[in-house]
Amino acid sequence: MNPNTSLSRVLTALGHQEPDKVPLFLLLTMHGARELGMSVQEYFSNGEYVAEGQLRLQAKYDNDCYYTFFYAPIEVEAAGASVLFRDETPPNTGMPILKTVEDIRRFEPARVEESEVLQKVLKTTATLKAKAGDSIPIIGVVMSPFSIPVMQMGYDKYFLLMMREPESFQLLMEKNIRFCVDWANAQLKAGATAICYFDPVSSSSMVTPSQYLEKGYRIACETLAQINGPTATHFASGKSIPIIDRVAETGTAVLGVSCKEDIGELKHLAKNKISLLGNLNGIEMINWTEQEAEFQVKEIIRKAGKGGGLIISDNHGEIPMQVPEKVLLAIRRAVDQWGKYPLDWI
């Protein structure tokens, strides 16, 4: 394997060794619509459009991954939910599809092979695999069984279910686990290199560490063990320091970390247990100058770059469309300048 390909670079970093430079994952989704001169809704209507958008974005920013994430509610859309599209904002979930305990009993997750919207994602994945081969990682995405009920039910009803209806909660988890595993493995079969397991409800910003151990951790262990490829767990800007050891125990290889926590402390806690993805502030990035972008990248590398185990990225798992091109290019230049190993400047 060529030691300077993106895939080799990432695998070396995840092995807690130093590659040629720190890998960079610019997790760009809606930006592809702008590249193709389309509305967000039109862009996501066709897997070929998204594949072409990812190809253009990777070429522009020399990104170390392709990202097949369309939008968060696509999994509930596959099960019958509506999706609200607005240009320059991520598509959002319409009305909840699960409103009562009886709805949970009747609920059947989408069948991947029968879902038109999920097949679009698989088309994107297969197209990118045919273009990239084994040179650039292709990152697929699933919503965790523990977190997706926020979109299936809404926050209030889901948290009440979690606390007051243990039997119905468990039934929903069983159904969601089955779907999550099938969906993850379908993406891997289509050509994804790894799966990002989005699990914001498990973060220490949403539940207590004891609640995580009782629910999110147990569900992650059961789910990830059935996924036929490597995974990264992402808390979508949620905090993780209180539970980082437990997250590593789930078998996931990477943890997406919050800009609200010090990446130097995270690196110390994660050393040789789990690799880190993050933790640039995507919201603040909208107003950064090129100099600020360089400073932020340099700080992450200074605190967490030595010894590998680091991929620079945003802290949420999706960079806002409002982030200017000049800032994204400045991030790329900063990684190239300050992220080359060995990091003798530190």
What is the domain partition of the chain in residue ranges? 6-338
**What are the C-alpha distances in Å from 159 to residues 58, 149, 153, 215, 236?**
39, 9, 9, 12, 18
Alpha-carbon distance of 243 to 179, in angstroms, equals 26
Look up residue 103 and give its two tokens: 């709805």
Q: Is 55 in a helix, a strand, or coil?
A: helix
> Beta 66-67 vs 83-86: how paired, if at all?
unpaired
CB–CB of 139/65 below 8 Å?
A: yes
Predicted local distance difference test score (pLDDT) of residue 281:
98
pLDDT in tens, the chain (346 residues): 566 799 999 999 999 999 999 999 999 999 999 999 999 999 999 999 999 999 999 999 999 999 999 999 999 999 999 999 988 889 999 999 999 999 999 999 999 999 999 999 999 999 999 998 899 999 999 999 999 999 999 999 999 999 999 999 999 999 999 999 999 999 999 999 999 999 999 999 999 999 999 999 999 999 999 999 999 999 999 999 999 999 999 999 999 999 999 999 999 999 999 999 999 999 999 999 999 999 999 999 999 999 999 999 999 999 999 999 999 999 999 999 999 999 999 9
**Cβ-based neighbours of 55, under 8 Å, separated by 6 or more:** 66, 128, 131
Which CATH number is correct for 6-338, 3.40.50.150, 3.20.20.210, 3.40.50.300, 3.30.465.10? 3.20.20.210
| Residue carrying structure tokens 């619509």 | 33
The one-letter amino acid at 170 = Q
Alpha-carbon distance of 27 to 250, in angstroms, equals 24
The one-letter amino acid at 176 = N
Predicted local distance difference test score (pLDDT) of residue 2:
63
Radius of gyration of the CA atoms of the chain, in A: 19
The dihedral region occupied by 325, where left means phi > 0, alpha psi between -120 and 50, and beta the remainder, is: alpha
**What are the C-alpha distances in Å from 122 to residues 43, 133, 138, 187, 188?**
15, 16, 12, 6, 9
CB–CB of 51/43 below 8 Å?
A: no
Burial status of residue 8 (CB atoms within 10 A of its CB: 0-12, 13-18, 19 or more): middle
Cis peptide leading into residue 90 (ω within 30°) = no
Look up residue 196 and give its two tokens: 């990002």
Predicted local distance difference test score (pLDDT) of residue 88:
81
